[in-house]
Amino acid sequence: MLRCIGVAIAGALLLSGCTLLGPQVKTYRARLTAIQEVPPANSSALGAASFTLDSKSRQLAWRVSYRNLTSDVTAVVLHGPAGPGENAGAFVDLAANGIANPLEGSATLTAAQMADLMAGKTYVSIYTVRNKRGEIRGQIGG
């Protein structure tokens, strides 16, 4: 009898779209500052980024905003794998469809990129005309 009840509950959860494995969508955030750039940039600019990752489809959506940059934005990019204070190669151009404030978009990550993001080994960096090596940066965390 208990086995039948357990099977019925599991079936109801599956039909309702729920899983027993936990959520598949998680939000990550980053606070962007000049001091996080390596080496640090001379800027009082600030930024904020929010990322939503669907771990089943590996789809990453973002919203990045910024203020007080020293000059025009030239690129907004995800880098990894790297921890705070480390530099790494770029792997997603967040401004591929044009530069805006706020900047919104989405991309599909590879399994390795998704694992790095989930492990806190990914950062977002905003590049400007005056700061070609990056003006503000933020480590992405859950």
Looking at residue 23, its pLDDT comes to 67
Interstrand relation of 123-128 and 73-79 (parallel, antiparallel or unpaired): antiparallel
Percent of the chain topping pLDDT 90: 83
**Is 5 a residue whose pLDDT tops 60?**
no
Residue 127 sits at the vertex; the CA angle it makes with 38 and 46, to the nearest 5 degrees, is 80
Whether this prediction's pTM lies above 0.85 is answered by no
Average pLDDT over residues 24-29: 96
Looking at residue 142, its pLDDT comes to 74
User: What digits encode the pLDDT tens for the residues 71-118?
Assistant: 999 999 999 999 999 999 999 999 999 999 999 999 999 999 999 999
113 class by beta-carbon count within 10 Å (0-12 exposed, 13-18 middle, 19+ buried): buried
Percent of the chain topping pLDDT 70: 84
- DSSP classification of residue 141: B
Looking at residue 21, its pLDDT comes to 56
User: What digits encode the pLDDT tens for the residues 32-54?
Assistant: 999 999 999 999 999 999 999 99
Domain range annotation of the chain:
22-139
